Amino acid sequence: MDRLKSLLTAILRDWMMLLGLLLLATVFFMAATAPLFFPQPPDTMMGPPLQWPGQYAGAPLGTDGLGRNILAGLFYGAQISLLVGFASVTVAMVFGILVGAFAGYYGGWIDNLLMRVTELFQTIPQFMLAIVVVAVLGPSIQVIIFSLAVVSWPAIARLVRGEFMVLREKAYVQGCIVVGMSDMRIIFTQILPNAMSGVTVMSTIMIATAILMESALSFLGFGDPNVTTWGTMIGMGKNNLRDAWYIMTIPGIALLLTALALNLVGDGLNDYLNPRLRSQRGQ
């Protein structure tokens, strides 16, 4: 009975990771093929407004209040979501890893200083901080990516710092010092690779959060006015909520599925990386 259960959970876990990867691949496919399927920009009027899905042949998922093709919006929106998600988390990772690595490796006043700054960022609610940054610097894709990186890096910094504090005490790191290795070389070639598995898992899930936050910003009108994103589409739909709820629901579902996919992949990675981690640490 027990054995059957563990087998099932194992398959189920793999199966969920597979589903996550498939969903994610679909989103990437949409982003990559958007200009191919829809040569017109997504904000051009393609047909009569407020056509329900299936009603109008030119737009299989219907059109919005201005006659824009919702399917085209989804495809182009995928580009923005992925760009914002991956770019902001990459920036956050670079910065968070640097801060966390130095704080964790050196400890003492460097750690105190860096962690004070990190905490400062964490005391302000993430979304508020993002809005403030966008409000001050003006709404553009670059600024949104920057603002989301600003709110994401502290969590990575803390995680990396924790890993570094444990790993720097390991005998192999002491051995590297004795051999005469420089601090930079120890930090980046000896400790960081061993600290990356946790960061990888965390950043996958953070990409999902960033994508959701970008949509929320766009929904509230803090998005880049020059591009169509899932968030702006949802925002547009709220005027027609009663008679044409599909306008809001379709991009909403796309958003949810993408976030779900990233979380599933994150969970799968975690399960996959952890046992290996254990055997590498010789437990």
Partner 1 sequence: MTNPLLRIDDLHVSFRVGKEMIHPVRGISLHLNRGETLALVGESGCGKTTLARTILGLQAPSSGVIEYDGNDIAGLDRFQLKRFRPHIQCVFQDPFSSLNPRKRVEQLIREPLDIHQIGDKSTRLKRAHQMMERVGLPIDWGRRFPHEFSGGQRQRIGIARALVMQPDLLICDEPVSALDVSIQAQIINLLWELKRDMGLSYLFISHDLMLVETFADRVAMMYKGEIVETGPARQVWSNPQHEFTRRMIDAIPVPDVTRPTPPAFRIDAE
Residues that bind partner 1 (CB under 8 A): 170-172, 174-183, 185, 190, 193-194, 279-282
What is the smallest separation between the CB atom of 279 and partner 1, expressed in angstroms? 6
Residue closer to partner 1 by CB (options 196, 257) is 196
- Choice between 80 and 187, CB closer to partner 1: 187
Q: Give CA separation, 161 vs 17, 112, 198, in Å.
A: 28, 12, 11
CA distance 225 to 230: 13
Say which amino acid occupies 46.
M
What is the closest distance, in whole angstroms, from the C-beta atom of residue 238 to partner 1 in the complex?
51
Of 15 and 172, the one with the shorter C-beta distance to partner 1 is: 172
Nearer to partner 1 among residue 1 and residue 178 (C-beta): 178
CA distance linking residue 63 with residue 133, whole number of Å? 33
Give Cβ neighbours of residue 67 (< 8 Å, ≥ 6 apart): 45, 46, 47, 48, 49, 51
Q: Which is nearer to partner 1, 69 or 197 (CB)?
A: 197
Q: What does the alpha-carbon distance between residue 137 and residue 158 come to, in Å, rounded to a whole number? A: 27
Closest approach of Cβ 184 to partner 1, in Å?
12
* Three-class DSSP category at 136: helix
Q: Which residues are paired to 155 by β-bridges?
A: none
* CB nearer partner 1, residue 39 or residue 180: 180
CB of 173 to partner 1, least distance (A): 8
Asked if residue 70 lies in contact with residue 252, where contact means CB atoms within 8 angstroms, the answer is: no
Minimum distance from residue 171 beta carbon to partner 1 (Å) = 4
Rounded to the nearest whole angstrom, what is the least distance from the CB of residue 106 to partner 1 in the complex? 12
- Hey, CA dihedral for 126, 90, 181, 167, is it positive or negative? positive
